[in-house]
Structure 1
Amino acid sequence: MRDANGRDTRLALDLALTVRHDGHGGVADDLTEPAGLTAWVRAHADDLPDAAAQPADEDTLAAVLRLRAAIRALFARAVRPGEPSPADAARLLPVPEALRRLNEAAARRPTVPVLEWADGGAPVLRRRAAAGGDDLVAALAQAAIGFLASPDRERLRACHAPRCVRYFLKEHPRQEWCKPSCGNRARVARHHERHRRPA
């Protein structure tokens, strides 16, 4: 089982990655309707078990999209001095607005500290939702806060391969793109650019 930071990192990134390139030079959005959000939540049922049990509605979708815009704006801030994702560059929320949205969404689900102490182990503090307070938007906001406040934030990068709009965690010092196919597209684009220039 992953620790809280691992879950936070994955949920926050996966929500941001519901905005992606469509393979044809445009941007696609996996969350354009409640059914898309329902499918996404069910794919993350291990981290969002209460939310996965019920289908999303229009209000929940709207709240998640507002939260995603805030998260992507804060991701753009986190990758500075690098450039943000091209999908965000022209429409970033101001940071104070993004922070306000994120914190208000997180407050929709109060959490309580819980002490766990296995035989032979050290006591561990965990945070759990208060009874009756499990809300999808709050869970996602709290995961994003956990990620942005963790050391993983320092590894966050925007992929600048042609047509890519993804954020990723840099796994090794020479990594420049989110996946090998993006690296290939970037090298091909550079090759074509060099051969187009007059000698």
Structure 2
Amino acid sequence: MLVLEFVNTVHARRGRPGDDLSDVEGMTAWGLAHAAELGLGPSFAASEELRHEVVRLRQAVRALFARAVAPGPASGADVTRLPGFTESLALVNATALAAPVAPRLEWPREGAPVATRVLTGESGESARVRAVLATAAIEFLAGPYGEQLRTCGSSPCVLYFVKERPRQEWCSVRCGNRARAARHYHQHKAH
């Protein structure tokens, strides 16, 4: 899901915080990895302004995610640096409206049909990218997955995920194994 991959550009690897969008090169690489969904061509190169605006939108979406998982804990990666809920909601809605997008079906001669998003009016690349991301966030939070949004229960993981099974507590098998090993260690260390 595009919006989960977007908010999870803030992550922790080996206990260290990371941000895939921390510089223009990272934003370019992430954009190219999601080019079809974002409507980008193979020559896409992010500008510092686009990167800054996308990171600002990501923080707003992360603030909405923090509210969506409440009363459970929000991601510990940046919860103290997130903008306020009202400001975040306004930014996401305004961004989605700034460059309305619509689905478009592309069907190559060989292969399955693919849905892409296209602008319904004239707008720049930055507005289009941000509109696609804001629209994906709105659809996710208002759709069936919004209620299953969770924060990974494994420390130091800071990712959000969609709970697919009733007892699921972690974003991945790796995080589940890490959490169970830590729990086992602490239980046996006390004895």
Q: Confirm or deny: 8 A CA contact 2:152 2:170 kept in the other structure.
A: yes
Q: CA deviation at 1:22?
A: 1.9
Q: CA deviation at 1:51?
A: 6.0
1:162 aligns with 2:155: yes
The Cα offsets for residues 125-156 of structure 1, whole Å up to 9 and x where unpaired, read as xx852132361111111111111111110111
The Cα offsets for residues 75-103 of structure 1, whole Å up to 9 and x where unpaired, read as 11111111111113322321101112212
1:27 aligns with 2:17: yes
TM-score w.r.t. structure 2 length? 0.85
Distance 2:146 2:41 in 1: 26
Moved more, 147-156 or 48-57: 48-57
Q: Superposition RMSD on alpha carbons, in Å?
A: 2.1
| Structure 2: gaps (5+ residues) | 105-116
| Structure 1: gaps (5+ residues) | 1-9, 115-126
Q: How many aligned residue pairs are there?
A: 177
Partner of 1:141: 134
TM-score w.r.t. structure 1 length? 0.81
2:11 aligned counterpart, secondary structure: strand
Partner of 1:63: 53
Q: CA deviation at 1:186?
A: 0.5
1:153 aligns with 2:146: yes
1:157 aligned counterpart, secondary structure: strand
What residue identity is the alignment partner of 1:96? T
Written as runs of structure 1 = structure 2, the 5 A alignment for 1:10-159 is 10-23=1-14, 25-50=15-40, 53-111=43-101, 129-133=119-123, 135-159=128-152
Q: Confirm or deny: 8 A CA contact 1:42 1:52 kept in the other structure.
A: yes
Distance 2:189 2:28 in 1: 46
What residue identity is the alignment partner of 1:43? A
1:177 aligns with 2:180: no
Aligned-residue sequence identity (percent) comes to 46
| Runs of 4+ off more than 6 Å | none
